[in-house]
Amino acid sequence: MTETRRMKALVLNRPGDIAINEVPDPGEPGPGEVRVRVGAVGICGSDVHYYEHGRIGDFVVEAPMVLGHETAGVVEAVGAGVSGLSPGDRVAMEPGVPCDECEVCQSGRYNLCANVRFWATPPVHGSLAEYVVHPARFSYRLTDSMSLEEGALMEPLAVGVHACNRAGVKPGDTVAIVGAGTIGCVTLLAAKAFGAEQVFVSDVVTERLARAESLGATQVVDARSESLAEVVMDATGGRGVDVGFDCSGAPGAPGILLEAAARAGRVVLIGMGAQPVTVDTVAAMVKEADVFGVFRYANAYPKAIELVANGSIDVAPLITDRYRFADAVSAFEFARTPRPDTCKIMIGLE
């Protein structure tokens, strides 16, 4: 009998209990797959939420689960039929694998697939492990100028790119963003790369506002003492912004963005927070504002990589804290109560 190969992975055993354990190695890639030696994984808020609570909505951790989904690594082997990738290539991996058969998959909006298998979403294991096997078509080669850490950041950046695609951000647009955490920052970077001329960013944390300003925000707004809508209207001569992004999930954010929106403006909902949310629908109707929902991303990784590779976006400043894989448990403990200036926590496996 052949002995099953083992590898190390960060496993959530139960809420509040994580450890680096030995788990089965994923083995060799099958047709259309690649085997990747993981090099960098970012910690996402969803990882921390599963660690603390063991569930997000209807997704409940009922058995030990490997965490992590913001991932880049080096291809070790390719399966039959794989073209365009070879051993030694460095790749960023899109963590969701759709069914390819349902109506939304066939339409191209595969992020809405009800049967998607998404890393570190129960019961699917994540990528905070020494090796993963993944579909080649969701493994994107990085350019020589990009690091594996930058590759891991393509996952959150894809959210910002997808949101800007949904909103149709174009050169000359004015934009308002509520929330300057990681998703707010990547949305800011994407909006600027798409050509937004003015970007207003609101938050309640001084350090986050400082980061947004350093990343190119035209004006930052301390929501503890200022009204984003008033600042926007004053700065735009009463016109308002073309696009507003809620990256906070705060109950009042959609209403604030509708108030700040120009006539025929667009409001994009990215952040997920406490429900229910009350919105003045008359305000939206009077302005004939379009309200878009965003769920993860689709077809966004290539554009995200292109924008970083050509210098339009610099994601490196988002990484504020680095940990070795051996210290991954400490990294998650820190992530539970990070510093006010913490943005992205990166775990290195190389």
DSSP 94-110: --EE--S-SHHHHHT-G
Read off the pLDDT band of 3 (50, 70, 90).
low
Q: Cβ distance 234 to 214 under 8 Å? A: no
Q: Looking at domain 160-293, does it have CATH number 3.40.50.410?
A: no
Read off the pLDDT band of 50 (50, 70, 90).
very high
Return the SS3 of 102.
Answer: coil
Residue 273, pLDDT score: 84
**Cβ atoms within 10 Å of 289's Cβ, excluding its own:** 20
User: How does pLDDT run across 170-187, given as a tens digit for each residue?
Assistant: 999 999 999 999 999 999
Indicate whether 1 pLDDT > 60.
Answer: no
Phi, psi of 328 (to 5 degrees): -60, -35
Average the pLDDT over each of 167-171, 217-221, 274-278 and give the range with the smallest value.
274-278
Residue 350, pLDDT score: 78
Cross-strand partners of 178: 202, 246
Question: Which top CATH class is 6-153+315-348?
Answer: alpha beta
User: How does pLDDT run across 90-134, given as a tens digit for each residue?
Assistant: 999 999 999 999 999 999 999 999 999 999 999 999 999 999 999
Q: What is the mean pLDDT of residues 1-18?
A: 88
User: How does pLDDT run across 52-98, given as a tens digit for each residue?
Assistant: 999 998 899 999 999 999 999 999 999 999 999 999 999 999 999 99
Indicate whether 262 pLDDT > 80.
Answer: yes
Domain ranges for the chain, please list them: 6-153+315-348, 160-293
Q: Cβ distance 308 to 150 under 8 Å? A: yes
Read off the amino acid at residue 333: E
Residue 60, pLDDT score: 95
Q: How far is it, in rounded angstroms, from Cα 251 to Cα 277?
A: 5
Indicate whether 278 pLDDT > 90.
Answer: no
Indicate whether 271 pLDDT > 80.
Answer: yes
pLDDT, the chain, mean: 96
Q: Of the candidates 202, 237, 234, which has an alpha carbon nearest to the alpha carbon of residue 217?
A: 202
pTM of the model: 0.96
